[in-house]
Amino acid sequence: MTVNNTISQISPVMSTYGRFPVTLVKGKGSYVWDDNGTKFLDFTSGIATCNLGHIPDVIKEKVEEQLQNLWHCSNLYHIPNQEQLAAMLVENSCGDQVFFCNSGAEANEAGIKLARRYANKVKGTGSPVVVTFQQSFHGRTIATLTATGQEKIQQGFSPLAPGFHYLPYNDTNALDELIELKPAAVLLELVQGEGGVIPANSDWVKKLDLLCKQHDILLMVDEIQTGIGRTGTLFAYEQFGIEPDVISIAKGLGSGFPIGAMIAKEKAAKGFEPGSHGSTFGGNPLATAAGLATITYMVESDTLENANTMSEYLDQQLQHMKNTFTFIKEIRGKGLLKGLVVELDALNIVQKAIGNNLLILTAGPNVIRILPPLTVTKEEIDEFTKSLEKTFQSIEKGE
């Protein structure tokens, strides 16, 4: 065996992320701490993942309990936590059956596979197309980055997967193409998170839903970022008066534990049968313990009520900032998924906010994305407002 003793400055971790100069080692509630003991207000929530804040006690208790019993077993056997979590998701959604995986990309991948197999095996149409929308984001696998309607995400990965067609988002006239395309499915976000925090127009969504019903097209909603209470209801689709055939979720489902799920109506679920899809780690006892505790707490507590109350208060604070700083052009989003459109470099704002002990995100070059936990308090929003205003003031002064 050859040992490489060469001293190198190259990190052993691949450079797939543009990391900020912060090393986080601890979290609780709305706060995280770095390796120097510096405390930050975290209004990223792990990119809409820690919806109940960092290390919520009720989730920690259930995970620690599961750690004493069983961490993993094959999906060839029944897993009680998995079956209970599936029942909870079905009870609190319009779906009938659930497939568990490890991430949002895998949940969308499962939905795409289900749509193709439904078209081929159930409808017998062959060569199925999946329609998605410009500026969407659905993941980083070959299929899901192809489904993503952003060229910058796809660059360097050709040949892309065949069978996808893109339409402009919120464009009612463009929906007429659906009749000509005869796709197997339509996949959309009800708030485009990575694409700029752009909410869907309600009338547009209702027309899309109607066309899908009329032409037997599966309507698949990507709730990876909007689901699990982020927009004020357990699922964002509830606010649009529709019932999708397929719902993909992940992020907030496990309060930070890797878990994803695809929920499908019985009609669509017929596309899968034993052996048609699978996952080694998907739905394992540990991840589903976290998921079951998260969903149970979410539906039994006042978390969603708090999220809606705090969303209104946060809107007031953001509006005040917009009235104060002329470079803020628009406030958009739903619930506690907020976007500030600015006439500045959003990344520069995010970097400067770190110096004021605040963690926020971008959603494109000129949009600041704000994702507090659903458990956020008025006092924490006041702290956020103070830190962001301080950041804006320093930028105005050219500091």
pLDDT, tens digit, 9 for 90 and up, residues 339-361: 999 999 999 999 999 999 999 99
Residues 153, 137: Cα–Cα separation, whole Å: 9
Residue among 119, 83, 382 at smallest CA distance from 245: 119
Give the contacts of 270 (CB within 8 A, at least 6 positions apart): 118, 122
Give the contacts of 10 (CB within 8 A, at least 6 positions apart): none
Residue 240 φ then ψ, to 5°: -115, 0
User: Which pLDDT value is given to residue 322?
Assistant: 97
Residue 228 φ then ψ, to 5°: 60, 45
- The alpha-carbon radius of gyration of the chain (Å, integer) is 22
Q: Which two tokens stand for residue 310?
A: 């705090």
User: Which pLDDT value is given to residue 397?
Assistant: 82
CB burial string 161-195: b at 16+ within 10 A, e below = eebbebbebbeeeebeebeeeebbbbbbbbbbbbb
Q: If one looks up domain 79-300 in CATH, what number appears?
A: 3.40.640.10
Write the DSSP symbol of residue 31.
Answer: E
Side-chain-side CA neighbours of 41 within 13 Å: the count stands at: 23
User: Which pLDDT value is given to residue 3?
Assistant: 44
User: Which pLDDT value is given to residue 8?
Assistant: 57
pLDDT, tens digit, 9 for 90 and up, residues 299-330: 999 999 999 999 999 999 999 999 999 999 99
DSSP SS3 for 130: strand
Q: Which two tokens stand for residue 178?
A: 């659906």
**In the chain, where are the structural domains located?**
79-300
pLDDT, tens digit, 9 for 90 and up, residues 359-394: 999 999 999 999 999 999 999 999 999 999 999 999
Residue reference for tokens 């998921």: 291
Q: Report whether 383 contacts 41 (CB < 8 A).
A: yes
Residue 44 zone, left/alpha/beta (φ > 0; ψ -120 to 50; rest): alpha
Residues 369, 379: Cα–Cα separation, whole Å: 20
Give the contacts of 186 (CB within 8 A, at least 6 positions apart): 130, 131, 132, 178, 208, 212, 217, 218, 219, 220
User: Which pLDDT value is given to residue 10?
Assistant: 84
Mean pLDDT by 10 residues, the chain (399 residues): 56 91 97 98 98 98 98 96 98 98 98 96 89 98 97 96 97 93 96 97 98 96 98 98 98 98 97 95 97 98 98 98 97 98 97 98 97 98 98 89
Residue reference for tokens 């679920």: 269
User: Which pLDDT value is given to residue 4?
Assistant: 52
User: Which pLDDT value is given to residue 1?
Assistant: 45
Residues 321, 385: Cα–Cα separation, whole Å: 8
On the question of a cis peptide bond just before residue 159, with omega within 30 degrees of 0, the verdict is yes
